[in-house]
Amino acid sequence: MRRVTLTQFLIEQQRAGRITADLRLLIEVVARAVKAISVNVSKGALAGILGEAGTDNVQGEAQKKLDVIANEILLQANEWGGHLAAMASEEVEEVHHIPFDYPKGGYLLLFDPLDGSSNIDVNVSVGTIFSVLRHDKEAGEATEQSFLQPGTSQAAAGYALYGPSTLLVLTVGSGVHGFTLDREMGSFVYTTPFMTVPEETQEYAINASNQRFWEPPVQRYVEELQQGKTGPRGKDFNMRWVASMVADVHRILTRGGIFMYPMDEKCRDKGGKLRLMYEANPMAMLIEQAGGAATTGRKRIMALQPERLHQRVPVILGSKQEVERVTAYHQEG
């Protein structure tokens, strides 16, 4: 079998006019950073990278050592390539500007360096999520305002999953494509072309410990799933919750399902739990590109006009029919 690498895939995308040379370079650099993060993740206690960093991020979360390391790796790898106007990260309060001695480019990169922090110390899958937006160089230096573009403006989105194998899942707006890291060769091999989310499913993902805080439409939807064969859905549903969004979304891209971190009384003040710009939007683009849907329960996620870099939103995504059903319950209620 002919092995196609990420590099070859990207060159072919460029030849087909789907991406610019700069976007190709940008994705290559992100992939290189992901390899470095993967090495650190897989060393675990041997590299002394487990545990708390002893600091808090802008979200008020205690940072893990690996949150900080992954953030540094991504920032440093992407600073000097000349393809970026600026970066933004879950772990950095303000926009990260490109140092003055490096050339600037026409793209903005946003990332969640390490997704699923609570799983690091227990050796469960974690990930990295990224989103790419365009920046008009004529408009001058990038500011927070430059980043506040709806998800529909994303030029590319993807995630890395550090599981039993390390995967890179990517969209540049023409389908969702999966690559597996060949650790010996040090290259990503194109293993899963055109990933799709099956329309129907019998699997759902939600943190059920928050049940008492959910709104009535989510209560109703989950209750119906739990009634199984004898309820209105006429079939049994299974539940999964890894608590690493990357792993939960990857399962949905692989075999379908619905993922919910909905609005609830616990996170209402903040607007939701997950972050719009570097968690919800890139995942929504991937899921839509794979034939699924992604809403807040009330609106399509990618159509939201962001107001802040670290803005939070409710997230309901996955198999189209299920997302449409929960969204309809919100509209009825």
56-75 residues near ligand AHG, rule: CB under 6 A: 61
CA atoms within 13 A on the CB side of 66: 30
Choose the one of Mn ion, ligand AHG, none that binds residue 207, judging by a C-beta under 5 to 8 angstroms depending on kind. ligand AHG
Neighbouring CB atoms inside 10 A of 145's CB total 10
Q: Sheet holding 258-261: strands in order across?
A: 238-239, 203-206, 258-261, 315-318, 293-295
Q: Please identify which residue in 63, 83, 98, 112 interacts with ligand AHG, judged by CB under 6 A.
A: 112
61-80 residues near Mn ion, rule: CB under 5 A: 61
Q: In Å, how far are 51, 67, 123, 274 from 55, measured between CA atoms? A: 11, 10, 21, 20
Nearer to ligand AHG, 36 or 243 (CB): 243
Contact code string over 297-326 relative to Mn ion, x by CB under 5 A: ------------------------------
Q: How far is the CB of 124 from ligand AHG (least distance, A)?
A: 11
Query: What CA–CA distance (Å, rounded) separates 99 from 80?
Result: 8
141-160 residues near Mn ion, rule: CB under 5 A: none
Q: How far is the CB of 56 from Mn ion (least distance, A)?
A: 10
Question: Is residue 112 close enough to count as binding Mn ion by CB under 5 A?
Answer: yes
307 annotated ligand binder = no
Query: What CA–CA distance (Å, rounded) separates 144 from 272?
Result: 21
Query: What CA–CA distance (Å, rounded) separates 46 from 44?
Result: 5
Nearer to ligand AHG, 168 or 315 (CB): 315
Q: How far is the CB of 275 from ligand AHG (least distance, A)?
A: 8
Neighbouring CB atoms inside 10 A of 3's CB total 11
Q: Please identify which residue in 13, 29, 81, 115 interacts with ligand AHG, judged by CB under 6 A.
A: 115
Nearer to Mn ion, 112 or 322 (CB): 112
273 annotated ligand binder = yes
Q: How far is the CB of 205 from ligand AHG (least distance, A)?
A: 8
Residue recorded with tokens 């974690």: 126
Q: How many residues lie near Mn ion (CB under 5 A)?
A: 6
Q: Please identify which residue in 78, 146, 201, 244 interacts with ligand AHG, judged by CB under 6 A.
A: 244
286-325 residues near ligand AHG, rule: CB under 6 A: none
Binding site for ligand AHG (CB under 6 A): 61, 90, 112, 115-118, 207, 243-245, 261
Binding site for Mn ion (CB under 5 A): 61, 90, 112, 114-115, 117
Which residue ranges are tagged as binding site?
A: 90, 112, 114-118, 207, 273, 279
